[in-house]
Amino acid sequence: MNGTSDTNAAQCPLPHRPEGETITLAHGEGGRLTRQLIRRTILPRMRNPWLEPLGDAAILAACPERIVVTTDAFVVSPLFFPGGDIGRLSVYGTVNDLAVAGARPQWLSLSLILEEGLAIATLERVLDSVAAAAERTGVTIVTGDTKVVPRGAADGLFITTTGVGVLAEPAWAGPLAIEPGDVIVVSGPIGRHGMAVLAARHGLELEPPPSSDCAPLNEAVEGLRRRGVPVRALRDATRGGVAAVLHEWADASGVSFELDEAAVPVTPEVRGACELLGLDPLHVANEGTMLIAVEPAGVEDCLEALREVSVTRDPAVIGRAMKRTLAPVVVRRVLGREQPLDEPLGAPLPRIC
């Protein structure tokens, strides 16, 4: 990820308003104050010809290619964490879902649920981050909605983004096509997002603190396509981490996967935090890191294509598909033992995205 675009609390530019000004219920009523909020706070940050009329719907282009739609709610806590914030996350998360589905991201809708009492300066920081992320990825925010709920009925700020893209050719075959022998590549060190959010939420004083991988994957996906890498399937490893993706792929394809733990890239910060908390990095969420199942002949091309893009500059081969065994996913641990890798059942990491 581009370090210069981080929005850590310490690096943030001064807020544009006095700290005291906050969101009130009247900002959500659809009347004059709602329009003021939209015109003064939201529109100036993401002005474009579709959003400008402030209608309830945006009339976009005809699409001779098939359109692709995805949606995600973002409820991360805290709103700002090392390496990212809810605004950037809500754009990259949706852009990445489109990219790994084989689409070129084009348009985004932005739906805000604000808690009464939220500092308008906080909202402004988040919107600045949304706008910067949209610009970086070339998507346009074409329509939106703002609701306000009373104190205690939400936690600060939730964002739902919906992305619309157009299908790019060639399309990936998808997880059903994965065959024994296919190679599993990860686009970078894993577990960074989950550990950054957990450490920030609980005030763990790790030095250096883990930093989120929150970043867009569309450029890297485009690179794989341009180079003609024989990709079977792609997936960003978000909630549930690498383990969740491999379990889904095993279900879909009927193969098993074996991973080589020693080959899985993990930063020292993430490794330290995971050991402290008793977590396996393979279960921890990422927000700018993807798995690629690739035909064996295409592995070198795949790695080279990824290395050309800063977000995915440290990819690694971490495993392969094999004939179905009893366990859908097996890890050869560093000490040589082979262990089944459980599917994440849930619960250790709420509100990670």
Q: How many CA atoms lie within 13 A of 46 on its CB side?
A: 31
Q: Which of 289, 293, 313, 291 is nearest to 303 (CA)?
A: 313
Complex with a second copy: residue 98 or 299, whichever CB lies closer: 98
Return the closest-CA partner of residue 344 out of 264, 263, 202, 246. 246
Nearer to a second copy, 293 or 299 (CB): 293
User: CA-to-CA distance for 183 and 83, rounded, in angstroms?
Assistant: 30
Cβ-count burial 157-171 (b if 16+ within 10 Å, e if not):
bbbbbebbbbbbeee
Which residues 6+ apart lie within 8 Å of 349 measured at CB? 194, 197, 198, 239, 284, 285
Shortest Å, Cβ 97 to a second copy: 4
Q: Least distance (Å) from a second copy to the CB of residue 53? A: 8
**For a second copy, which is the closer residue by CB, 181 or 350?**
350
At its nearest, how many Å lie between a second copy and the CB of residue 348? 8
DSSP 313-344: SS-EEEEEEES--SSSEEEE-TTS-EEEPPPP
Cβ contacts of 344 within 8 Å, gap of 6 or more: 240, 241, 243, 244, 283
Pick the closer one to a second copy by CB: 142 or 299.
142
Paired tokens of 189: 């060190």
Convert 110-132 into a string of H (helix), E (strand) and C (coil): EEEEEECCCEHHHHHHHHHHHHH
Chain-centre distance for alpha carbon 64: 28
> In terms of C-beta density within 10 A (0-12 exposed, 13-18 middle, 19 or more buried), how is residue 203 classed?
exposed
50 vs 219, beta carbon nearer a second copy: 50
Alpha carbons 167 and 200: distance in angstroms, whole number = 37
- The residue among 12 and 38 lying less far from a second copy, judged by its C-beta, is 38
Give the nearer residue to a second copy in terms of CB position, either 127 or 299: 127
Nearer to a second copy, 13 or 152 (CB): 152
Least distance from C-beta 111 to a second copy, angstroms?
Answer: 4
Give the nearest distance from C-beta 325 to a second copy in angstroms: 19
Instruction: Supply the minimum distance, in Å, between the C-beta of residue 47 and a second copy.
Output: 17
- To a second copy, the closest distance from the beta carbon of 77 in angstroms equals 8
Q: From the CB of 200, what's the least distance to a second copy, in Å? A: 16
Residue 278: partners with Cβ closer than 8 Å, 6 or more residues away: none
What does the alpha-carbon distance between residue 23 and residue 15 come to, in Å, rounded to a whole number?
15
